[in-house]
Amino acid sequence: MDYELQYRKVINLEVFRQIQESHFIATGFASVFADEYGNELGGGSGYCDFCNLMQSRPEGKEGCRLSDYLAGERARKLGKPYIYKCHAGLIDIAIPIVVQGHFMGTMLTGQVKCIESEFETLDKMPSKKDWLQDPQYKKLYDKIETASRKRIEATAHTFFLMVNSLVEKHISEMVQEQLLAEKEKLIRETQIRHELEKSLKEAQLRALQQQINPHFIFNILNSISVLVRLEQLDKAQAVIGAFTKMLRYSLNKTNTLVSLEEELEYISQYLFIQNLRFGNRILYEMEIDPCLSLIKIPFFSLQPLVENAVIHGLEPKEDGGKVKISAKIEGKNVLISVQDNGLGIPENEAREIQNHLSLESGSHRLNIGMLNVHKRLKLLYGDDYSIQIQSREGFGTVVNIIIKKADDIYEKNIACR
């Protein structure tokens, strides 16, 4: 199968538009996506009056296109962000977007002035005209914000990581969907009942585990950008590191099953970021029996429960609270719990959610993440698995996952011998 895709199939311009808007709101830096020839696509965000005037005139627009093209080529060859002066003299940053070895285009951000003494040398793109000789342009140029070198370089680094991580995630999902579609087609053509049942089960698991909340990604982008703008670079780097680990886990774990230890490491990074975002209003604790660290669970099967506890239980609560994840052997069962001391829900609503889970049907109170967790664990463990929900309004919620045959787990887990 040929996965060499053109950028129009690969690059989701609407997603890039949302990234641009969030980036501008948080940092004040304008941004736009340009193809490999320097043509700006999807419209820019946060353009200053100087650049809007430049874009309104054919000679200025062509100068911008040539600048974008040359800077994109330079960034592609460097394989990293390229800081330079555009043809009109403003600081811009070119972020190369490379997918499976193919250059797809450039994200450009900037449209600011710099403190000249902080940069020994800066490449300037060629120009047929000195735009600042025109009083109209000069007046608008003088109003443009001046940014420090530290802020410019931090923005370049952050934007580079964010943009390419999101593109890689999008490509990975596309490839997985295409592989899954081809696999299902082959199954239908062969009409082998045993293989059909086996592959459809795997297809169900893979399809369910791909549902990752895009709003969380944009919240992280905003948080990092704000930290950069406030020059809290240590915190920004910590969030970038945690988010990179999360993306690496979600992109690399193509198997349907992971160890409990791997899933909890992902959750630790998620909770670390939430703790930083909400100024210690979101606390967390983990209490895990070492004997259970290697047991297998479906990929991304606990994170939705933790996310649900944070978003619906703790975030709306004025003084925040704590989420606790525990895993232990209780009798002959494995008990995995996600507990929060948040807002909770009335007991009758908790019973209603429990009933819908038993019937594997949706409801307005049952989010898709929890239903998917239930379905995937049911597919894996069958009747040896059950889920229990207990909640009390004003006191919090507990979700218990129960897996039978604890003796088998002890025998297979070398950590318990």
> For 324-381, how does the pLDDT look when each residue is reduced to its tens digit (9 = 90+)?
999 999 888 999 999 999 999 888 888 888 888 877 665 545 566 788 788 888 888 8
Instruction: State yes or no: pLDDT of 3 exceeds 50.
Output: no
The residue that leads in pLDDT, 4 or 39, is 39
The answer to whether the beta carbons of residues 168 and 251 sit under 8 Å apart is: yes
For the chain, the farthest-separated pair of C-alpha atoms sits apart, in whole angstroms, at: 83
Report how far residue 325's alpha carbon sits from residue 317's, in angstroms, rounded to the nearest whole number: 19
Report pLDDT for 195.
46
- 191 pLDDT tier (thresholds 50, 70, 90): low
pLDDT mean over 179-207: 59
Per-residue pLDDT reduced to its tens digit, 34-80: 988 999 887 888 999 999 999 999 999 999 999 999 999 999 999 99
Place of tokens 């043809």: 87
Place of tokens 């059909």: 196
Instruction: State yes or no: pLDDT of 28 exceeds 70.
Output: yes
What long-range pairs does 310-317 form, CB within 8 A, spacing at least 24? Answer: 310/271, 310/274, 310/282, 310/340, 312/342, 312/343, 313/340, 313/341, 313/342, 313/343, 313/344, 313/396, 313/397, 314/281, 314/282, 314/340, 314/342, 315/278, 315/282, 316/342, 316/343, 317/342, 317/343
Least confident of 231-245, 300-314, 337-351, 403-417: 403-417
pLDDT mean over 3-11: 49
- Average confidence score pLDDT of the chain: 82
Per-residue pLDDT reduced to its tens digit, 92-144: 999 998 877 778 889 999 999 999 899 888 999 999 899 999 999 999 999 99
The fraction of the chain above a pLDDT of 90, given in percent, is 36
- 410 pLDDT tier (thresholds 50, 70, 90): low
Report how far residue 341's alpha carbon sits from residue 392's, in angstroms, rounded to the nearest whole number: 10
C-alpha atoms less than 13 angstroms from C-alpha of 39 in its C-beta half-sphere: 6
Report pLDDT for 67.
95
Report pLDDT for 281.
86
Q: Which residues of 397-415 are buried (b: 16+ CB within 10 A; e: fewer)?
A: bbbbbbbbebeebeeebee
pLDDT mean over 238-267: 81
The answer to whether the beta carbons of residues 306 and 271 sit under 8 Å apart is: yes
- 176 pLDDT tier (thresholds 50, 70, 90): confident
The alpha carbon of residue 1 and the mean position of all alpha carbons in its chain are separated, in whole angstroms, by 27
pTM, rounded to two decimals: 0.55
Instruction: State yes or no: pLDDT of 222 exceeds 80.
Output: no
Instruction: State yes or no: pLDDT of 211 exceeds 50.
Output: no
Domains of the chain: 7-157 (3.30.450.20), 286-296+314-417 (3.30.565.10)
Per-residue pLDDT reduced to its tens digit, 288-303: 999 899 988 888 889 8
Q: Which of 276, 371, 292, 373 is nearest to 326 (CA)?
A: 292
Report pLDDT for 214.
60
Residues pairing with 280 in the sheet = none
Per-residue pLDDT reduced to its tens digit, 276-289: 888 788 899 999 99
Q: Which of 376, 373, 413 is nearest to 389 (CA)?
A: 373
Q: Residue 156 gets which letter from DSSP?
A: H
